[in-house]
């Protein structure tokens, strides 16, 4: 690009390309064997050094991963990893994305990171019977300000994921998941080896570092500069930041989400993301979450709040949302709402909301 007269006046990739070429040059010494794949329906973990991750991301920047730009290959059920779509067009949002990623590459080349990151695919074969569950909800704290990454320090932090983790981070997407992958770019490398998530699966990433600050959301997103991540490290030298990717269902019609099978699916997905087999409930961390699946996916904020709070194993939740919502107590009440309100309405949305229905019963 630096040879183009028109682009040369605005961009000069020569220095950056030299930096990334240096990253690629050390790739062979750092990655001496093929990266394992986190395949569907298999519990498995991969631990990489931050330096290995930086080399993999440099290769993604130069689009060197073969057979990853076509849906006719063995990787058709994996996300895109090459950055080719980021270089298409000249939208303001893509410029801000590139600023955020270039900040990361500058930081890791100026000072080589020394920590580790673990990527875990968790798959549960045994799921609760929600209709017979008598366990009570955990504590719920609601905040109308801040973000999950700021307010959720020390908690399990939820990524409102696409089943192809990272969603549109290498394309035009720029909402909660994509923003988190941009400010913590080490999350992006999960797209290289994580097959699409099924209903009983989630991805857990431990140790990803935040490199950038930002403002705005979607079209208003702006890179605001470096972020100095002071999160302490564990005995493995991983940042004590745990992020879980759980994907909500997409609803083209509002009422679909109140069908019992869809409510059970969302409960199971949240349960999969929050539970840790072999760990007692009292030893689990609180969960920092928000309006999961309530934007482009069409989810109802009240229902999503109720389904996540229904997960009994978690001792407390910290919810970052725009308006305070009340919490409900029993899965059976959700089924009653479906039978008494949703199935009888002639509208696209029921006139009586979930919480107004529950407030009459409780």
Q: Which residues on adjacent β-strands are paired with residue 288?
A: 157, 318
CA distance 343 to 326: 23
**H or E, element range at 202:** strand 201-206
Q: Is the separation of the CB atoms in 226 and 257 below 8 Å?
A: no
Residues sharing a CB contact under 8 Å with residue 93, sequence separation 6 or more, in sequence order: 172, 174, 218, 219, 221
Q: 217 among the known binding-site residues?
A: yes
Q: Provide the CB-side half-sphere exposure for 70 (13 A, CA).
A: 5
Q: Taking the CB of residue 259, how many other CB atoms lie within 10 A of it?
A: 15
* CA nearest to 193, candidates 51, 45, 86: 45
| Residue 166, helix vs strand vs coil | coil
Q: Is the separation of the CB atoms in 72 and 200 below 8 Å?
A: no
Residues with catalytic function: 159, 177-178
CA distance 108 to 213: 16
- Give me the phi and psi of 10, to 5 degrees please: -110, -35
Q: 122 among the known binding-site residues?
A: no
For the chain, helix, strand, coil in percent to 5 are 35, 15, 45
**H or E, element range at 116:** strand 116-123
CA distance 152 to 320: 9
Place of tokens 């040369």: 8
* CA nearest to 191, candidates 70, 25, 37: 37
Q: 176 among the known binding-site residues?
A: yes
Q: Which residues are annotated as a binding site?
A: 162, 176, 217
Q: Which residues are annotated as a binding site for substrate?
A: 162, 176, 217
């Amino acid at each position: 690009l630096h040879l183009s007269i028109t682009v040369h006046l605005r961009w000069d990739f020569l220095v950056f390309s030299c930096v990334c070429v240096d990253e690629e040059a050390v790739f062979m010494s750092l990655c001496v064997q093929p990266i394992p794949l986190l395949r569907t329906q298999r519990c498995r973990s991969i631990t990489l050094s931050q330096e290995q991750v930086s080399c993999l991301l440099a290769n993604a920047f130069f689009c060197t991963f073969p057979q990853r730009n076509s849906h006719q290959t063995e990787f058709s059920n994996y996300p895109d990893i090459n950055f080719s779509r980021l270089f298409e067009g000249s939208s303001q949002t893509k410029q801000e994305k590139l600023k955020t990623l270039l900040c990361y590459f500058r930081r890791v080349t100026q000072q080589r990171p020394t920590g580790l990151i673990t990527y875990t695919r968790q798959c549960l074969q045994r799921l609760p019977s929600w209709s017979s569950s008598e366990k009570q909800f955990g504590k719920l704290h609601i905040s109308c300000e801040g973000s999950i990454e700021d307010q959720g320090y020390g908690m399990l932090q939820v990524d409102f994921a696409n089943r192809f983790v990272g969603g549109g981070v290498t394309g035009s997407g720029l909402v909660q998941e994509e923003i988190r992958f941009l400010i913590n770019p080490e999350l992006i490398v999960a797209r290289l080896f994580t097959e699409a998530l099924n209903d009983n699966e989630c991805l857990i990433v431990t140790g990803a570092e935040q490199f950038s600050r930002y403002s705005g959301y979607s079209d208003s997103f702006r890179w605001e500069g470096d972020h100095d991540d002071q999160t302490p490290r564990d005995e493995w030298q991983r940042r004590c930041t745990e992020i879980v990717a759980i994907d909500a269902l997409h609803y083209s019609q509002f009422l679909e989400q109140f069908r019992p099978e869809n409510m059970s699916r969302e409960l199971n997905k949240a349960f999969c993301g929050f539970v840790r087999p072999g760990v007692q409930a009292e030893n689990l961390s609180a969960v920092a979450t928000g309006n999961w699946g309530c934007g482009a996916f069409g989810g109802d904020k009240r229902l999503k709040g109720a389904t996540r709070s229904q997960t009994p194993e978690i001792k407390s939740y910290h919810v970052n949302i725009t308006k305070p919502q009340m919490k409900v107590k029993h899965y059976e009440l959700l089924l009653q709402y479906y039978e008494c309100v949703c199935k009888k309405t002639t509208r696209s949305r029921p006139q009586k909301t979930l919480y107004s229905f529950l407030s009459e019963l409780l």
